[in-house]
Structure formats: C-alpha cells, structure tokens
Amino acid sequence: MRSVEWDYERSVLKMIDQRQLPRVFEIAEFSRYEDVASAIREMVVRGAPAIGAAAAFGLALAAQASPAPGRTALLHDLESAALVLRATRPTAVNLFWAIERVLRVATSEALESADEVRQAILNEAQKLADEDVVVNRQLAETGAALVKEGDVILHHCNTGSLATVDWGTALGVCRMANEQGKNIHVLLDETRPQLQGARLSAWECEQYGIPYTLIADSAAGHFMRTGQVNLVFVGSDRTAANGDVANKIGTYALAVIAKENGVPFFPVVPTSTIDLSLSHGDDIPIEERTPAEITELTFFGRPVAPQQAKVANPAFDVTPYKYVTGIVTEHGVVYPPFDINLRRMVKQRVK
C-alpha cells in the first residue's frame, strides 16, 4: 500500500506506522485530524512529501467531522484545524505547502455549500497524493540518469516510499537505477533522528532487492576518502532560493567531505520543497527533537548515556549551496547558479 492512503469505504486515513519498522509492519487508522497531527509530531508518518499528504487528508478529516451546516462556519473550523497541523513540525515546507493548497480550494467562491467544500477538500488531498507518486517517478528517472554501471551510492536518512506517498526521492533514484540493471550498491548511513537509515532505508532496500551495506554515520568520510563512493544522494525537507538545503542532521558534514574528495553531491528535491520565500538557508527553522531519542538508546540492553546528560538533538542541518553539485528535480537537474535556475524550475511547476 501507499504510506499515506484514504480509505473511501470507511472514510478514514490509513498510514504505515513507521515507528514499528523494521520488526513490525502495522497500519494505523485515523478518523480525527488531531490524531493525524499527533502522528506527524511523533513520526508515525515522516518525510516531507508524506507529511504534506497526511496534513492534506487531515484537513479532509476535519471537514468531515465538523458539524458546521454552512460554508462560513466550516471554513472557520478548517482554519482551526490548520493551525494545529501547522504546529506539528517546523522544517518540512511540504507541510505548509499542502495545507495552503487545500485551503485555497476550500475557500473557492464556486463552492456554495458546506458539503461541496467537504468534497472539494477530499478531492484535492487525493489529487495531491496522486501527484506525489508521479513526481517521484519523474525524480527517480532524472536522478538515475546520473548513475553509471556499478556505481556505489552513499545515501543519508530515509527518502524512499515511506518518506513519500510512494516510490521515494533520493532512495527512489537508487531503486530506479537498480531496476534498470545498473548493478549499483548503496551505502546507508544510520541517520539520526531515530536511526531512520538503519531502521527504514535498510528495510526498504530489502523489500526492493537493492544491494546495500549499513554503515555508521561517522564512517561515511572513510568510504569517500578511500575512493569507495561514486555519488551521494540525499533528500531535502526545505530548499532555499539560493540552493541551501535543509536535510536530516549530518547532511552538511557529508556534503563538505564529498566536496573535499571530489564526490558529486546531489539532493533529490521535488519542486514543492523549494521555498523561494527564503533567500538563504539560515532562515529555515530547525526542529529540535526530544532528548529521549538519544538518552533512551541502549547498548546491550543498558542506556548509553548518563541519566542526567544534557542533550541537544537538532533533527536537521543546512548545507550551503557551494557544496551542492546539482539539485535533482522532477523537471531536470538544476545546476549553479541556483538563485537563478531554481526560480526558473519552480516556474515550470506552476505552469
């Protein structure tokens, strides 16, 4: 199934509970937008495109649950739900993009009744989810064209089907290259927060038959310095107008090491994650996760950290554009100067 999927028979939202993987494959069901908001915050669902789709369907649930008999009262309830959904995770721009897209449809003057608004919201959420699958396939085909026979690809975070509605972004490129028979091998970083590479990317590689090796995050530099990596593919939760990329913590270090060792570094970025309202990456809000994600890790059944350890746990960092070789989008690969070429690429999406 898709990672985020509407059940039309029961009018509920279904999502793969990513906290349970890789040991248990479990489908969680949601009938209240408040629970969808909690699921986004607690990373039942994660990955910028998947978060956006979940929020869009969350608004559909809010519209469905609202007792408002008229259009004006329903729109008021939707705005209240949107506030709750927006507050879940600050970095991924798809969350805000998806909410605004659905609200634009909801406020159309062509919709006269509350029921028309409800149906229009669900239709738009489904359209958004379906488009995400198409976009990811286009991203995969574009990125796979950069991959040569026998390449070793370093991948950070989880950017596969679980992080999107289906198929994936950076890991989707690896999947496409593998299905094209290019005999690739993927080095997977463990990736904080929540070891998403070890838990999720490794699981996905096994589902799709992608050859992989799991490595500690701190080992990536060794593999690049010794010439064992041909390409680095990563995702992006928000990309600024100048090409600065916000991605899972540790991405910046990878980009610096990649440039030092002459390894091409490509974020794989749906144009919906490009935020032209931000001139540079320093304006991107960085989410701080709970200390428990670090202090509650165990080693042979025992906590790895002292009980009173002070913890800083940023979920993302920003990679300055000067370390980025090119940005893979569904419309093609964008190369420097990013401040000019990204804007052109986004205009293609708007058309």
Find where tokens 């960092």 sit: 317
| 298-299 vs 12-16, strand pairing mode | unpaired
* CA gap 127, 100 in Å, rounded: 14
SS3 92: coil
Contact 165, 133 (CB under 8 A): yes
Percentages helix, strand, coil for the chain, rounded to the nearest 5? 45, 15, 35
Residue 173's alpha-carbon distances to 95, 146, 269, in angstroms, are 23, 9, 11
The single residue of 189, 237, 275, 317 carrying the catalytic annotation is 237
Q: Is 35 tagged catalytic?
A: no
Burial class of residue 321, CB neighbours in 10 A (0-12, 13-18, 19+): buried
A 10 A CB-CB count for 179 gives: 13
* CA gap 26, 128 in Å, rounded: 24
Q: Please, which contacts does 253-257 make with residues 24 or more away whose CB atoms are closer than 8 Å?
A: 253/220, 253/221, 254/154, 254/156, 254/189, 254/220, 255/319, 255/323, 255/324, 256/323, 257/220, 257/221, 257/224, 257/225
Structure tokens at 221: 């530099």
Find where tokens 């990736």 sit: 191
DSSP calls for 155-167: E-S--BGGGSSSS
How large is the C-alpha radius of gyration of the chain? 20
Any idea which residues carry the catalytic annotation? 237
